[in-house]
Amino acid sequence: MKKHYDLIVFDWDGTLMDSADLIVRSIRAASRDAGLPEPSEEASRHIIGLGLTEAMMHLFPQAKHEDCQLLSERYRHHYLLACEEGLHLFEGARETVVALEEAGYLLAVATGKGRRGLDSAFESSGLGRHFHASRCADESFSKPNPAMLFELMERLGVDPAKTLMIGDTTHDLLMAENAGVKSVALCHGAHPREALESCSPLACLNDFEELKQWLHDHA
């Protein structure tokens, strides 16, 4: 069977790894440490997927530069401390990635995480060896800027028409749209289904079981 896509790009947090709740808790704890108003859970979930600097500027638009630095430092502290207790991939994530690699797809990650954070997640999860390339917000432009996708496609020699983006936030889907790339949304992460549907992905799916079936039928 001929493949419709050659390259499948995944977001990380909230898409492959079940980390959205931890990110929200870490953001809110960092705001308390910095003596700033604690953002709502909804607001904190909305910025998941952005680079850390962009996320803090969005949540705290009146904060001074030194406040944003402190917020980022305290966020990293709380997030890494909680990570020591263990983070887990979503059920079916590992099997899906391995099956796609075995089927001959090129696989990549485009994430709002920093490089150190993604490399650590690759190592702890054991999933890193299955990806052919990755791009992080601290080495490119933050979503929804399409730069990460452009760089991945150029590196792997794949056209936008042969690339599929899979993510859990509107930032992922808008990045794909800006790059001329089709997308699929997973609804088990940071953003609600209604927001994801507003970006017109090819499908909004509940979990990796549904994703595996969709990829079998359409990819």
Task: Tell me which residues are annotated as active site.
Answer: 11, 13
Among the listed residues 50, 49, 47, 55, the one whose alpha carbon sits nearest the alpha carbon of residue 72: 55
Structure-token match 């909004």, residue found = 204
When computed from its CA atoms, the radius of gyration of the chain, rounded to whole angstroms, is: 17
Residue 107 has φ and ψ, to the nearest 5°, of -125, 140
Q: How far apart are CA 2 and CA 158, in angstroms?
A: 16
Answer yes or no: are the C-beta atoms of 73 and 218 closer than 8 Å.
Answer: no
Among the listed residues 181, 186, 143, the one whose alpha carbon sits nearest the alpha carbon of residue 52: 143
What's the one-letter identity of residue 155?
R
